[in-house]
Amino acid sequence: RVLRGRPLDLAGRRIVVSAGGTREAIDPVRFIGNRSSGLQGYALARTAVARGAEVTLVAANVTLPDPAGAKIVRVESTADLRDAVLEASAGADAVVMAAAVADFRPATRQGSKIKKTDGEPEPIRLAKNPDILAELGERRRAAGAARAGAEGSGVIVGFAAETDDVLANGQAKLARKGCDLLVVNQVGEGLAFGTPDNAATVLVAGGEPVEVPFGPKEDLADAVWDLVAARLS
């Protein structure tokens, strides 16, 4: 895909993108995971580099080729992702959470492989994971209270895949997470996971939603960067 012809409107900006899906270990050989391929997050990283940004890509279990020009930090679990995103986002101009983050993890990780026994298996108890996007919003609110333009005051973008009441759920999520933009995908019917194309509605805090028609994930990425660049200028 041709990456020329893009505006260099993110030149000098430090941007963090998370991509892929986190894995939560059950034992040394098994995990709870999700179907995120990382394609959308990688498209965001590539297009941000093309628009001049300095990009840190936090990649959770992605097997795609590395985007040229981005710094890549590889992570596996939600705890790893949280550490990497919080560290990279200090002082960043924008953070885009495109990664599919596991909401739950096994409450205890077995140190050795769980073996089959004669009886029924033990249930796996789950514990809740931290909400990284909400934490970014809270940090920004705390920093903003102290000083405008303080560390952690960059643009915050979330992604949401919804199956029902897509816009209503999206608006509630945008408010709850305290982010500036929320990219809402409708999932199902072959949309979104593992495909090169996507369609979405970008919800904008304090503004009108922007519809992005079905097309390459780069197009959705560029639509996100258009909105981010407008917020930064």
Q: For Ca ion, which stretch binds (CB under 5 A), given 60-68, 100-108, 173-181, 187-195?
A: 100-108
> For residues 3 and 167, which CB has a smaller minimum distance to ligand CTP in the complex?
167
Q: How far is the CB of 175 from Ca ion (least distance, A)?
A: 16
x/- map, 63-102, ligand CTP, by CB under 6 A: ----------------------------------x-x-x-
56 binds, among ligand CTP, Ca ion, none (CB under 5 to 8 A by kind): none
Rule CB under 6 A: say whether 193 interacts with ligand CTP: no
What is the rounded distance in angstroms from the CA atom of residue 71 to the CA atom of residue 87?
13
Contacts 24+ apart (CB under 8 A), 160-166: 160/184, 160/185, 161/100, 161/185, 161/186, 161/187, 161/192, 162/186, 162/187, 163/187, 163/188, 166/201
Q: How far is the CB of 124 from Ca ion (least distance, A)?
A: 18
Rule CB under 5 A: say whether 162 interacts with Ca ion: no
DSSP letter (8 states) at residue 191: B
Q: For Ca ion, which stretch binds (CB under 5 A), given 28-36, 48-56, 68-76, 102-110?
A: 102-110
What is the rounded distance in angstroms from the CA atom of residue 62 to the CA atom of residue 194?
11
116 is in an annotated binding site: no
Q: 229 is written with which tokens?
A: 């660049």
**C-alpha R_g of the chain:** 18
What is the rounded distance in angstroms from the CA atom of residue 209 to the CA atom of residue 158?
14
Site for ligand CTP in 144-183 (CB under 6 A): 158-160, 173
103 is in an annotated binding site: yes
